[in-house]
Structure 1
């Protein structure tokens, strides 16, 4: 019996994913539970198991395809498990327009079967030249044309709304507004271009960061922390951490410091429900760590950071960072954060404006420590949601962080 296997539910609010690797080919024999497909949805990877034992008759997806839940992926001959079916040409599947959601529970998958060598990624496709509309005559007053230039609007793309067929100031404003609301669309270029398809991680980052920036009124405060003494202590006790298989990094120490600060300042460990005019305080402390990977930004979460010592946190940090960089991160690893740390010190730079990771209300950015007057000074940038956190609270929070880094005993006294 030919079984049409369609992409199953991947998790709550997840409607599609990108095919990272097709693990079987036409003619392969598969067993129930064997992995058929590796999918990247949101920022997590997952393997999709076979629902039955049989022979692969047709493969309807390919590496790099965007597939939606319920879309046909394989045809399996579940009765002819001992037979060797004739190869069937693979059918191309059009991309879906659905976007993967940021957070959803993971889908459990059995242990994967041996994976064939991945197919090389397709070369970038050159963009087709965009036909110019500059030759189209338009009727618009000089002040209307000036406004279009100031807003970066091509006057030739604006349609007049009145019966006179003359473009007005309101026509230009409405065109600019609709362009912004739609995400800008594809801009026009005046030179050679090339087009590459966004990965699932990049699409998820694009959508989530745009949402965070558009819905959260950000305020960023900066300060310097003298970590000279802390760095000496880190060097002194680093070998003890290495003996237990961990690396005592500044980020690991910051996780402990931040978890302690959140207990002192609970309004930094909350979320808000603006529709209900309610504040949701969280009595758990899960710290997200921004990790730079080849595929893009990921923010895996260290859970119950307040209940772990620095060596345990260092172990957790090393583990989740490795999983993220190796592409083995699961949806569960990316969920449940209450505060995020973004440390760019390993790359360089001083102060910056980290974007709050909604539904969290604050994020700490860390730059590279520099020598100043014989002291090792580390730049800190705290962004917070001004709807729930006032400037005075922001100043107190970052000063508490600075004091704890400069005098670690504060963790024992107040943390």
Structure 2
């Protein structure tokens, strides 16, 4: 009888939540075969078996919290020594002879014989296998060093890894709240833990400033309602967020500095020739940010359909890590909930984020009619990295956004 233990979950990850058990009693498993699906941050990863054998007892179930080294199943003597018919493990693929592996102290190499859970999606593992890349030598740039396709390609070309530094804020000791009354504790979800880390990092890294503005969306809202039936015939719900995606893409083309990142190590500004925009989605488990790619190349109707699809996947927790990576700008629309304004936090390594609040009918002076008239005004805000963007840049960016919202004829709705 042997114990099947959970491999090392990776640097800075001490526990995970079981979201799927891929084995049952009586199954034959081979070393390296996926046996659990675990939620560690904003994504789900597979945990491989550390050795092979016949499953005699499964020790965990969906919803359990597990830690590295914990016994997850008991194995009897294996009757088949050959690996199960699963795709070859990229972590066992031979390392490429050229380029040489990139040495990095950020994630220590595990001792010989130690099996380590490698945080990578099946598509990334397949790419690594095709490119002959040993995933054990790749340093991931995502949460908990999760490896993306870009990380694999970057490694294969010999480029240096680009890794977000993991913040390590000092944990302050809390008072004993039970002295003042009844209390209860609830474990943070993986999404919330990831949010804690990313927000702490952004706040400690980026000197942020927020610019506030308003746009008169009276005509745009009328046009949105007029075109909604046409959009529905194409399987899309025309929302203001979909319109804002198209407007933001136009603004990023006009002001490329907002579609950039700062490389402090080389003192360079990285300008991106693509426009991928993240959209914050409120879900029962926390805030998720799926990414709409190539926004500048799509019409508003197409964007509306894609937005509805990824938002639904976010709420159902079906987003893949790749669908939450690569954004160069972010939009957070709280208009459906309420509020008159807020200061969104820039999502590093981006340099700006657009926050939208609920529109309302307000009296606006019309000099031609010499009187007030009711207009639909939408407040919005732009938080930006002041290391790269100056206040005047932000004001011009916001004015451009407002002008497109106020002149619908300037915006393309086809697609």
TM-score where L is the length of structure 2: 0.69
Query: Quick check: 1:106 aligned with 2:121?
Result: yes
Deviation at 1:238, TM superposition (A): 1.0
Seen in structure 2, the aligned counterparts of structure 1 residues 78 and 257 have a Cα distance that, compared at 3 Å, is: farther
Corresponding residue for 2:172? 184
Q: Is the 8 A contact 1:301 1:336 kept in 2?
A: yes
Corresponding residue for 1:360? 350
Query: Quick check: 1:43 aligned with 2:36?
Result: no
Tell which deviates more after alignment, 230-239 or 360-369.
Answer: 230-239
Q: Is the 8 A contact 2:206 2:385 kept in 1?
A: yes
Q: Is the 8 A contact 1:224 1:380 kept in 2?
A: yes
Distance (whole Å) between structure 2 residues aligned to residue 78 and residue 288 of structure 1: 49
Corresponding residue for 1:395? 395
The residue matched to 1:272 in structure 2 has which SS?
A: strand
Q: Is the 8 A contact 2:25 2:56 kept in 1?
A: yes
Corresponding residue for 2:154? none
Query: Quick check: 1:21 aligned with 2:19?
Result: yes
Deviation at 1:37, TM superposition (A): 2.3
Unaligned runs of 5+ in 1: 82-97, 99-103, 111-179
Distance (whole Å) between structure 2 residues aligned to residue 286 and residue 17 of structure 1: 32
Q: Please list the CA deviations of residues 294-321 of structure 1 after superposition, one character each: whole Å capped at 9, or x if unmatched.
A: 1001111011111111111111101110
- Residues matched between the structures, number: 319
The residue matched to 1:262 in structure 2 has which SS?
A: helix
Corresponding residue for 2:149? none
Deviation at 1:345, TM superposition (A): 0.7
Unaligned runs of 5+ in 2: 81-106, 108-118, 126-167, 364-373
Distance (whole Å) between structure 1 residues aligned to residue 8 and residue 237 of structure 2: 40
Q: Please list the CA deviations of residues 208-231 of structure 1 after superposition, one character each: whole Å capped at 9, or x if unmatched.
A: 101111111111011111111111
Corresponding residue for 1:127? none
Corresponding residue for 1:217? 207
Deviation at 1:334, TM superposition (A): 0.9
Distance (whole Å) between structure 2 residues aligned to residue 328 and residue 354 of structure 1: 25
Seen in structure 2, the aligned counterparts of structure 1 residues 357 and 109 have a Cα distance that, compared at 3 Å, is: closer
Corresponding residue for 2:258? 268
Q: Is the 8 A contact 2:3 2:71 kept in 1?
A: no
Seen in structure 2, the aligned counterparts of structure 1 residues 363 and 47 have a Cα distance that, compared at 3 Å, is: same
Seen in structure 2, the aligned counterparts of structure 1 residues 50 and 236 have a Cα distance that, compared at 3 Å, is: farther
Distance (whole Å) between structure 1 residues aligned to residue 124 and residue 309 of structure 2: 21
Q: Is the 8 A contact 2:4 2:49 kept in 1?
A: no
Q: Please list the CA deviations of residues 62-106 of structure 1 after superposition, one character each: whole Å capped at 9, or x if unmatched.
A: 5331434x765334447358xxxxxxxxxxxxxxxx9xxxxx753
Q: Is the 8 A contact 2:275 2:296 kept in 1?
A: yes
Tell which deviates more after alignment, 35-44 or 383-392.
Answer: 35-44
Distance (whole Å) between structure 1 residues aligned to residue 236 and residue 349 of structure 2: 31
Corresponding residue for 1:232? 222
Seen in structure 2, the aligned counterparts of structure 1 residues 46 and 328 have a Cα distance that, compared at 3 Å, is: farther
Q: Please list the CA deviations of residues 131-163 of structure 1 after superposition, one character each: whole Å capped at 9, or x if unmatched.
A: xxxxxxxxxxxxxxxxxxxxxxxxxxxxxxxxx
Q: Is the 8 A contact 2:236 2:308 kept in 1?
A: yes
Deviation at 1:40, TM superposition (A): 1.0
Q: Is the 8 A contact 2:35 2:46 kept in 1?
A: yes
Q: Is the 8 A contact 1:44 1:329 kept in 2?
A: yes
Alignment of 1:165-314 (within 5 A): 181-189=169-177, 190-314=180-304
Q: Is the 8 A contact 1:293 1:324 kept in 2?
A: yes
Distance (whole Å) between structure 1 residues aligned to residue 248 and residue 301 of structure 2: 15
Corresponding residue for 1:350? 340
Tell which deviates more after alignment, 263-272 or 233-242.
Answer: 233-242
Distance (whole Å) between structure 1 residues aligned to residue 216 and residue 54 of structure 2: 65
Q: Is the 8 A contact 2:6 2:47 kept in 1?
A: no
Distance (whole Å) between structure 1 residues aligned to residue 248 and residue 77 of structure 2: 54
The residue matched to 2:121 in structure 1 has which SS?
A: coil
Corresponding residue for 1:339? 329
TM-score where L is the length of structure 1: 0.69
The residue matched to 1:195 in structure 2 has which SS?
A: coil
Seen in structure 2, the aligned counterparts of structure 1 residues 25 and 403 have a Cα distance that, compared at 3 Å, is: same
Distance (whole Å) between structure 2 residues aligned to residue 76 and residue 22 of structure 1: 19
Seen in structure 2, the aligned counterparts of structure 1 residues 195 and 260 have a Cα distance that, compared at 3 Å, is: same
